[in-house]
Amino acid sequence: MDFDLVITNGIIVTASEVLPSGLQIGVRDGKISCIGTNLPCGGSTQVIDAEGAYITPGGVDSHVHLAQKNAPTGDGWETGTRSAIAGGTTTIIAFASQEKEDLSLWPVLDEYIKVSKDQSYCDYGYHFILTNPTAEILHNEVPLLAKDHGITSVKLYMTYDAMKVNDREVLDILFTCKALGMTTMIHAENHDMIAKLIEGLERNKNTEPYFHAVARPRIAEDEASYRAISLAELADAPMLLVHMSSDVAVQHVRDAQGRLLPIHAETCPHYLFLLSDKLKAEPHDHFHGAKHVCSPPLRHSPDDLEGLWRSIANGTFTTFSSDHAPSKYDVPGGKRLGLVDGIPRFTRIPNGLPGIETRMPLLFGQTPACQTPEQARLSLPRFVQLTATNPAKLYGLDGRKGSILPGYDADLVIWHPGDTGSCVIKQANLHHDMDYTPFEGMPVGNWPRYTILRGQVVWDQAKGILGKLQYGQYLKRGKGEVLTGRTGNLPRGMLEDERKYWR
Ligand code: URP
Ligand code: ZN
Ligand code: ZN
Ligand code: ZN
């Protein structure tokens, strides 16, 4: 039987190596069928000549907010996933979110299924955000989320009035998820520190966008990250700290990993490329900084960026996600969110930046594909680990997503051959439903020439979006893998036989 698709003349990059050129990928029924040479092409076989370009796995973006109630001007599924495939991402995991008054997760899930079903250009799964983890929810509903719906990860917040859970609730969630083989994602910032600082800033009428960054200093992230790690250590639970922006907080992770705790870390493009000066007013627009309000905030110094880049290279970070959580700057109807009677109020600016489409090109641009060996920030296999293989494994999609191997979905990105810097990020070229990109004008080394999802070309840079809205499939995920350290550690300061008294 002929292959449906054969890709020739590319350089395949996996999570462990850059394969010799000349290997071909044969695709049948949407799956990678084999990798070899001289693959037979019949009359019905589509052939794509990669012309010497790198081929990487389709991106897995494991931190995406679409159709969120707290971002009414944000991206929905259609525009968000369209933007994903145009930037080389073929799988996303997005957040269904409990609100405090939701005493059951089922209506929340039903509603989220309703807004996403047949509304996705890429394959997708859900995480669940827990804001009110009652005993009923933890004991009866979360196990069914995993078993019946393949939702095997939850996120919790240590900050934000509307979302925050206390340390006891963090522990309850960690113990439950540990028992079910689920991964807990934690947004770690010290809520009370931030509340205290906001009170003082408001008293002094310091309410412009820039003061968002002042209200959320690194120490708030550092303290909460260390606390989250300690709670996970007590629960002996795998955990991932999301969207890390502070090098000191990342050092806590590195230390935990050194003690073989299963503590994972994620960072995002904006923390690697942008600084807090972006929050300042511009001559042409006083409120401009609102475009760069996210939590944790952009940090102040290039040293912060350097520390994070080191942890990209040295293996501390497990995943590199977009945290695509945008809101429009100019709201239809003319009222900018966070401008109250013409006065900027940073506490009212929706948090989060657009970035689902620019994530892969921004990081690829820092590999030896686009940089001299001395200037490259990370290797090509490390790029693949961070953007595809690791998130797939951590979130229970291994065997299907995130790797270029026989039997896996034929999700691939073919980059431009030999392109090292001709491409500049422009809002006008992006496919989200936002009115700006925080990366405007930034050069990237390359851009996906083709994005392939289950053997179909869904993005062709010359022709645009070729995928269909209903093509994206829901992914029932399995148990995630522990990618660093192991479980079974005794919490620090506890004697072996003490555990039996309380477990
Ligand atoms: O600023 C951010 N990151 N907003 C999105 C929600 C979150 O905390 O991930
Ligand atoms: Zn968060
Ligand atoms: Zn500007
Ligand atoms: Zn987020």
- Quick one: angle between helices 167-180 and 218-235, nearest 10? 50
Q: Which atom of ligand 1 is nearest to the CA of 187?
A: 8
Mutate to test the pocket of ligand 1, among 291, 327, 351, 353 (most ligand atoms within 8 A of CB): 351
- In angstroms, the CA 213 to CA 192 distance is 15
Residue in 24, 52, 54 with CA at minimum distance from that of residue 38: 24
Close Cβ partners of 73 (under 8 Å, ≥ 6 residues apart)? 327, 328, 331, 332, 337, 350
For residue 306, report the distance from its CA to the centre of ligand 2, in Å: 22
**Residue nearest (by alpha carbon) to ligand 1 atom 9:** 323
- Please tell me whether residue 361 adopts helix, strand or coil conformation: helix
At residue 154, φ and ψ (nearest 5 deg) are: -130, 155
Burial code (b: 16+ CB inside 10 Å, e: under 16) for 274-305 equals bbbebbeeeeeeebbbbbbbbbbbbbeeeebb
Residue 141 DSSP symbol = I
Ligand nearest to the CA of 240: 2
Mutate to test the pocket of ligand 1, among 65, 346, 348 (most ligand atoms within 8 A of CB): 65
According to the model, what pLDDT value does residue 287 have? 95
For residue 328, report the distance from its CA to the centre of ligand 3, in Å: 15
- In angstroms, the CA 243 to CA 254 distance is 15
Taking only the tens place, the pLDDT of each residue in 464-498 is 999 999 999 999 999 999 999 999 999 999 998 88
Per DSSP bridges, beta strands 464-465 and 263-267 are: unpaired
Ligand nearest to the CA of 295: 1
For residue 51, report the distance from its CA to the centre of ligand 1, in Å: 39
For residue 266, report the distance from its CA to the centre of ligand 3, in Å: 29
Strands (E), 115-187: 123-129, 153-157, 183-187
For residue 168, report the distance from its CA to the centre of ligand 4, in Å: 22
- In angstroms, the CA 108 to CA 99 distance is 9
- In angstroms, the CA 31 to CA 34 distance is 9
According to the model, what pLDDT value does residue 421 have? 62
Mutate to test the pocket of ligand 1, among 131, 155, 295, 299 (most ligand atoms within 8 A of CB): 295
For residue 395, report the distance from its CA to the centre of ligand 4, in Å: 16
For residue 284, report the distance from its CA to the centre of ligand 3, in Å: 7
Model ipTM value:
0.90
For residue 203, report the distance from its CA to the centre of ligand 2, in Å: 27
For residue 349, report the distance from its CA to the centre of ligand 3, in Å: 17
Mutate to test the pocket of ligand 1, among 241, 266, 323 (most ligand atoms within 8 A of CB): 323
Taking only the tens place, the pLDDT of each residue in 6-26 is 999 999 999 999 999 999 999
Mutate to test the pocket of ligand 1, among 73, 93, 154, 243 (most ligand atoms within 8 A of CB): 243
Q: Which atom of ligand 1 is nearest to the CA of 160?
A: 8
- Please tell me whether residue 303 adopts helix, strand or coil conformation: helix
Q: Which atom of ligand 1 is nearest to the CA of 295?
A: 1
- In angstroms, the CA 360 to CA 338 distance is 30
For residue 76, report the distance from its CA to the centre of ligand 4, in Å: 15
> In a 10 Å sphere around its CB, with 0-12 CB exposed, 13-18 middle and 19+ buried, how is residue 168 labelled?
exposed
Q: Could you list which residues have their CB under 5 Å from ion ligand 4?
A: 323, 325
Contact 63, 30 (CB under 8 A): no
Contact 250, 311 (CB under 8 A): yes
Strands (E), 29-99: 31-36, 46-49, 54-57, 59-64, 89-97
For residue 296, report the distance from its CA to the centre of ligand 1, in Å: 8
Close Cβ partners of 435 (under 8 Å, ≥ 6 residues apart)? 328, 329, 330, 427
**Residue nearest (by alpha carbon) to ligand 1 atom 8:** 295
For residue 295, report the distance from its CA to the centre of ligand 2, in Å: 7
Ligand nearest to the CA of 285: 3
At residue 212, φ and ψ (nearest 5 deg) are: -60, -40
Contact 178, 487 (CB under 8 A): yes
Which residues, judged by CB distance below 6 Å to any ligand atom, belong to the binding site of ligand 1?
Answer: 65, 187, 243, 294-295, 323, 325, 351-352
Close Cβ partners of 454 (under 8 Å, ≥ 6 residues apart)? 30, 31, 123, 409, 410, 411, 473
H-type helices in 376-498, by residue range? 380-384, 390-394
Report angle CA 438, 439, 441 to the nearest 5 degrees.
Answer: 125
For residue 275, report the distance from its CA to the centre of ligand 3, in Å: 15
Token pair recorded at residue 180: 């079910």
Q: Could you list which residues have their CB under 5 Å from ion ligand 2?
A: 187
According to the model, what pLDDT value does residue 241 have? 99
Domain 58-394 carries which CATH code?
3.20.20.140
According to the model, what pLDDT value does residue 334 have? 77
Q: Which atom of ligand 1 is nearest to the CA of 155?
A: 9
Token pair recorded at residue 362: 């921004």
Q: Which atom of ligand 1 is nearest to the CA of 325?
A: 5
- In angstroms, the CA 116 to CA 72 distance is 16
CA 475 to chain centre: 16
Ligand nearest to the CA of 438: 3
Tens digit of pLDDT at every position of the chain (503 positions): 899 999 999 999 999 999 999 999 999 999 999 999 999 999 999 999 999 999 999 999 999 999 999 999 999 999 999 999 999 999 999 999 999 999 999 999 999 999 999 999 999 999 999 999 999 999 999 999 999 999 999 999 999 999 999 999 999 999 999 999 999 999 999 999 999 999 999 999 999 999 999 999 999 999 999 999 999 999 999 999 999 999 999 999 999 999 999 999 999 999 999 999 999 988 888 899 999 999 999 999 999 999 999 999 999 999 999 999 999 999 878 789 999 999 999 999 999 999 999 999 999 999 999 999 999 999 999 999 999 999 999 999 999 999 999 999 999 999 999 876 678 999 999 999 999 999 999 999 899 999 999 999 999 999 999 999 999 999 999 999 999 999 999 999 999 888 889 88
Per DSSP bridges, beta strands 412-414 and 54-57 are: antiparallel
Token pair recorded at residue 445: 């080394």
| DSSP secondary structure, 86-119, as one string | HTTEEEEEEEEE--TT---SHHHHHHHHHHHTT-
Count CB atoms within 10 A of the CB of residue 366.
Answer: 22
According to the model, what pLDDT value does residue 503 have? 81
According to the model, what pLDDT value does residue 419 have? 72
- In angstroms, the CA 265 to CA 484 distance is 10
**Residue nearest (by alpha carbon) to ligand 1 atom 2:** 352
Q: Which atom of ligand 1 is nearest to the CA of 294?
A: 1
